[in-house]
Homo-oligomer: A and B are copies of this chain.
Amino acid sequence: MTDPPSGPRPATSTDVARLAGVSQATVSYVMNDAPGVKISDSTRERVRQAAEQLGYSPHASARTLRKGRSDVVLMPVPDIPVGHLAGRFFRELGRLLRGHGHTLVMYGDTDGRGATAAREWAQWRPAAVLVAADRLTRAGVRQLHAAGVATVVAMGPRPSLLAPTLVFDDYAIGGCAVEHLIARGRRRLGVVVPAEPELAVFAGPRFEGAERAAAARGVAVRRIVLPSDEAGAAEVVAGWDAGERPDGIFAYNDDYAMVLMRVMQDAGLAVPGDVAVVGADDLPLGRLLRPRLTSVRVAGDRSAAQVADRLHQMIVAAEREAGVVLFESSAEIVHRESS
């Protein structure tokens, strides 16, 4: 009654049924290997061949509408730069979830949070939503559950009170670096906080973790706000008094560490003689520098499989306990020459 006819349309289950000489229901049963329904092998085969011949692929939206939920694991990602570890982790996760019949979808959304954002995510009736912990509110989680989302999973540096969490422990990274510096005999510690505001989500916890570890050993840390460009960083370093200059610095990550090392060396400071430097993320490039860069390695690659399995279970069982840790990254120091 409505649509303009537009040439050849994609095949539907009804088309397949007609070609195979069976009913549409039978096609559906065959395609989904419906348990508890008996279909003879000959019919099964005929349906399969007809589907193949027509290039049939079920209409995802129709299926979602009928079932009330899709097989999508929705991952709303705003403008946050995806780091080295996280990128690998999610690529792997996507591959594994696919094996369980789910589809990981990265959805470039606005940076809203709470119920408003949840409403937008809910449109897709995803099986699960995987999102930064600080974008969830109680009302938002409730809304998602009401929309049939089986499980909401948070991601953040600490277990969320609202949902099970993938803990990417940025506190531990800072702590690990500082403990290493102290063990190497450094006492005038500095911790880099990137001047770039979009990194604040990660930088806050790393700094706090460093601060806490230092406090536990009776050492103070100094906050160093550092821009990522060479000139800006040089200015910061030039402003240091010889007496007050730190003798050990955790540089937030390897990128900032490399810039920092460069400008310190150009300013005549010896690394690690005058100042020890520790980065994080263990980028391959860090090993090319002289001195080779000490870094905090964040492990997690392996665990993507565990997370995928667990997530699948949770979707099937519609588990929604909050405060549970589904995954926890571990931090360990990789000691090289810069510290």
Q: Which residues of A contact B (CB under 8 A)?
A: 3, 6-10, 55, 57-62, 64-65, 68, 70, 79, 81-82, 87, 91, 94-95, 98, 103-110, 115, 119-120, 122-125, 143, 146-148, 228-230, 255, 258-259, 262, 284-285, 287-288
Contact = CB atoms under 8 A, between A and B. Distances in A.
27 contacts: A3-B68, A10-B122, A10-B146, A10-B147, A10-B148, A55-B115, A55-B143, A57-B120, A59-B65, A59-B123, A59-B125, A60-B123, A60-B124, A61-B61, A61-B65, A61-B124, A62-B65, A79-B95, A82-B87, A105-B105, A105-B106, A105-B108, A106-B106, A106-B108, A230-B287, A230-B288, A259-B288
A107 B229 CA distance: 34
Nearest to A106: B106
Contacts of A6: 148
A55 B143 CA distance: 8
Nearest to A70: B61
B124 A108 contact: no
Cβ-closest 8 pairs across A and B: A94-B108, A61-B61, A61-B64, A106-B106, A60-B123, A57-B119, A10-B147, A262-B288
A71 B246 CA distance: 54
B104 A146 contact: no
B230 A258 contact: no
Nearest to A56: B119
Quick one: which of A3, A8, A60, A262 has the most chain B CB within 10 A? Answer: A60
Contacts of A285: 255, 258, 285
Q: Is the interface of A mostly helix, strand, loop or mixed?
A: mixed
Given A10-B147, A60-B61, A82-B87, 15 more contacts: A6-B148, A8-B146, A9-B146, A55-B143, A57-B120, A79-B95, A91-B108, A103-B108, A105-B105, A105-B107, A106-B108, A229-B284, A230-B288, A255-B285, A258-B288
Nearest to A110: B98
A148 B7 CA distance: 10
Contacts of A68: 3
Nearest to A88: B81
A2 to B, nearest CB: 8
Contacts of A8: 146
A51 to B, nearest CB: 10
Contacts of A70: 61
Contacts of A147: 10
A5 B119 CA distance: 21
